[in-house]
Structure 1
Amino acid sequence: MSRRKVGIAGAIVGTASAGLAAGALAKRYAVGRIRLRPDLESSEPFGELRGRQVTVKTSDGVELHAEVDGPEDAPLTIVFCHGYTLNLDSWHYQRRDLRDTYRMVFWDQRCHGRSTRTPAEDCTIDRLGFDLAEILKTLVPGPCVLVGHSMGGMTVMALADSHPELFGEKIRGVALIATSAGRLAEITLGLPALISKAVHWATPPAMSVLGRRAALIDRGRQAGTDLSFLALRYLGFGDPSTISPTVVDFAESMIRSTPTDVIADFYPALMSHDKLSALDVLNKVPTSVVVGEKDWLTPVEHSRAIATGLPSARLTVIPGASHLVLLEKPAEVGEAVTELLAAVAAADAEPAAVLEAPGPDTAGTQAQDDSKAGDVL
């Protein structure tokens, strides 16, 4: 090779190296500046709230990690189902704010958090629905409300499809947060149509490659990076300028702890998920549908489609929020859940009010009360 060619090659390599170094420095500088801003959540004990730890063994031998929190004698249990690549700690704010009043059950979906792994063929939404049925049978002796985020909402829909008899009797209410009833393969990801189609075309084979090289990739994911911090800050939250760096780090640590092959194994299940037909079952109970206005993973249109299939459901679109709305806007999500719990309490009290025996009164008034009761029933 001539000296001239060597010189050119060296210049190219040098320029590329300088570009990469400059990019790394720019990222480090950007992250450094973000972390220097006031952070109101810096002392929040993320991942430290614990309850009574329980293991639920499923019919196919998977050990599901679960925690029971709150007063055991509470008349109602809230069961929280987390999203794709997250774990039960993602419900930090909801646990913190409700644990003094309600009995709560949190669980790691199979292959996530501290639950055990399973073969790829068992990483399906239908199987998650059966897992939830076993959680309810083992840990929820009385009436309950189900709250599901993202894949957790799909788990609730799968349960409705396979166990419709539970809704109305055992299950008294449902909250579906940043989720979809199907057709996720058609979302644009906020990209122009042609680019979106190319991404959807390329992603399945890319996921397959990730699954085959998971061990190698996971070694590189063990330590959080500036790039992953910045990516999640912009993609997971609606307004990056206001979100706490501590919250971003917390969410990123949950995602990073999910093995790459688990991410790859569940991806086809998410893309093929279709439970629109199961929505009729949810009409039996008060239902709340919550979504962030800027959610690009499960866009507002998907929550609107769910609400259309559930005429009695309450749809809440939270301004400025994205997919991790439960961490980004916990007060607004908490308000929606609290309103749902109030609706459940009102629905449970309604039969008692209708059937309440009339007090001492005139015959005319008693007949009038009976007539009103007949109209309600």
Structure 2
Amino acid sequence: MRIRRRIGVASALVGAASAGVAAAALAKRYAVGRIRLGPDPEASEPFGELHGHEETYTTSDGVALHVEIDGPEEAPLTVVLCHGYTLNLDSWHYQRRDLRDSYRLVLWDQRSHGRSQRTPAADCTIDRLGDDLAELLDAYVPGPCVLVGHSMGGMTIMALADRHPELFGERVRGVGLISTSAGKLAELTLGLPAVVSKAVHKVAPVTVSALGRRGALIDRGRQAGNDVAFLAIRLFGFGDSKNISPTVVDFVESMIRSTPTEVIANFYPALMSHDKLTALGVLDGLPTAIIVGDKDWLTPPDHSRAIAATLPAAQFTEIPGTSHLVHLERPGVVNDALHDLLKRAAGIMGGQRTQ
């Protein structure tokens, strides 16, 4: 009798737990359904459909990088766009759309991202990304240029400044740093209490490494996409999440989902150990734009302010109500800042060395 009673209790608990999971899943599906039924002004935007002349560049260590060249070839100034962690060159959709009529553009998928070749973990470093960028400038940028980087792309530019400072001034005439950091990402609180944040950072490297080792298995579950990913990206990637287009969220989710778990794990240590604050002096005297959302929890505004403190003549723009994907959330404001940067860079080409 006791055994039957225990089985009955266990069955009830399992049933209750299953019902709870099912209810939670139903609630998430309902929430996402309601979001998708709301106004979506970007529903017809051709995300991922803007393309230029495609090239494949093989780096000095044998990695094939996907490169696209867009805009008028005769333009006097080239804009090189460097995307962020887990994204690809399509993340510059609004900036490409806005700049391609007036400027020559070079966009590229950083190694192991997008359509570029995967590389071993040992070659997934910020310094190597800086070297990749140096090689691309030699291959595809015959004249003066402005470099613009988002998140990890901004770190790539800093690595270039650290390892190839001679390129800044004559070749690189200006720099845009969007939602990025010069270092100390391992100290982020992630919005958590200090004790909890410290514990998270302590276990994160081991956890990420373990996920990377099981990447193929995890990726099979990621390919279909899911409501949890949609809600997480909407909540943490965008500051004004209630008003962000579901189509934009889906676009970002598809880019992140296409980045293998192993790649995410391989680059994680490089991001946490990134420290290029001393390299920022190379940018002193060049037109520089620093842009960040005031609700960015991945590379918080304090990190951009630290960069601005090192480059006091730079134009610093903190956009209210926005988060890490500010160039997709408020493209008009970001593009205005970039246009101003490009005008200042053109001023240098005309002999006016001013910020």
Q: Does 1:102 align with 2:103?
A: yes
Partner residue in 2 for 1:247: 248
Partner residue in 2 for 1:67: 68
Q: Does 1:89 align with 2:90?
A: yes
- Match of 1:80, SS state, is strand
CA distance in 1, matches of 2:352, 2:196: 54
CA distance in 2, matches of 1:6, 1:228: 36
CA contact (8 A) 1:167 1:284 kept: no
Q: Structure 1 residues 192 and 351, CA, compared in 2 at 3 Å: closer, same or farther?
A: closer
Partner residue in 2 for 1:329: 330
Amino acid at match of 1:73: E
- Match of 1:133, SS state, is helix
Amino acid at match of 2:122: E
Q: Does 1:166 align with 2:167?
A: yes
Partner residue in 1 for 2:20: 19
Q: Does 1:28 align with 2:38?
A: no
Partner residue in 2 for 1:155: 156
Partner residue in 1 for 2:263: 262
CA distance in 2, matches of 1:347, 1:140: 18
Alignment of 1:274-293 (within 5 A): 274-293=275-294
- When normalised by structure 1's length, the TM-score is 0.92
CA distance in 2, matches of 1:219, 1:118: 20
CA distance in 2, matches of 1:347, 1:105: 21
Deviation sequence 1:146-175 (CA, Å, 0-9, x none): 000000000000000000000000000000
Q: Does 1:201 align with 2:209?
A: no
Q: Percent of aligned positions with the same letter in both sequences?
A: 71
Q: 1:347 Cα shift?
A: 2.2
Q: How many residues align?
A: 353
- Match of 1:2, SS state, is helix
Q: Does 1:188 align with 2:189?
A: yes
Amino acid at match of 2:242: S
Q: 1:128 Cα shift?
A: 0.2
- Match of 1:231, SS state, is helix
Q: 1:222 Cα shift?
A: 0.3
- Match of 1:50, SS state, is coil
CA distance in 2, matches of 1:185, 1:351: 40
Q: 1:348 Cα shift?
A: 2.1
CA distance in 1, matches of 2:194, 2:332: 35
- Match of 2:80, SS state, is strand
Amino acid at match of 1:318: I
CA distance in 2, matches of 1:351, 1:209: 53
Deviation sequence 1:251-272 (CA, Å, 0-9, x none): 0000000000000000000000
Flag as ranges the 4+ runs of structure 1 deviating above 4 A.
none
Partner residue in 2 for 1:53: 54
Q: 1:284 Cα shift?
A: 3.3
- Match of 1:247, SS state, is helix
Which runs of no fewer than 5 residues in structure 2 stay unpaired?
none
CA contact (8 A) 1:291 1:300 kept: yes
Q: 1:351 Cα shift?
A: 5.3
Q: Structure 1 residues 10 and 25, CA, compared in 2 at 3 Å: closer, same or farther?
A: same
CA distance in 1, matches of 2:164, 2:194: 38
Which runs of no fewer than 5 residues in structure 1 stay unpaired?
353-375
Deviation sequence 1:192-238 (CA, Å, 0-9, x none): 11111111111111001111100000000001101100011001000
- Match of 2:81, SS state, is strand
Partner residue in 1 for 2:180: 179
CA RMSD of aligned residues (A): 1.1
- When normalised by structure 2's length, the TM-score is 0.98
